[in-house]
Structure 1
């Protein structure tokens, strides 16, 4: 009887570890594209398409954000969104 209980505890612990590993792999699969998107937004185009890819930009291309915000009239789009809401 004690052997059965011990076996059940080992099996439960193993099952818990396996489910945690599956959850961790799923979480990484979901967060890695977000991290890459943020990293790529801070790189120059040459750095983004270089091989092998670098996850940490050197140097940071902060000018990408003002360029993106002035490329299209985001102020007008934001105002229209507030008007609709």
Structure 2
């Protein structure tokens, strides 16, 4: 599989075998591991001025996305993406 890129739209299978499209909002390497910040396409492209939910996923060696289950790892990733977004502003 090709490298995950910002702006890429990926279809995931939800809990009830329901397809959901997510867009990659950012990709970051943290301590040797690759992570992606993603949001639901429906929220991102919506016309309403509402906050969108952003999720952080680990990018595995085969470029598959997986949930971050460890709270400490999640906090580290969340803080790194937040710091990067503040630097961009």
TM range (shorter): under 0.3
Between structure 1 and structure 2, the one with the greater Rg is 1
TM-score by length of 1: 0.23
Indicate the structure with greater helix content: 1
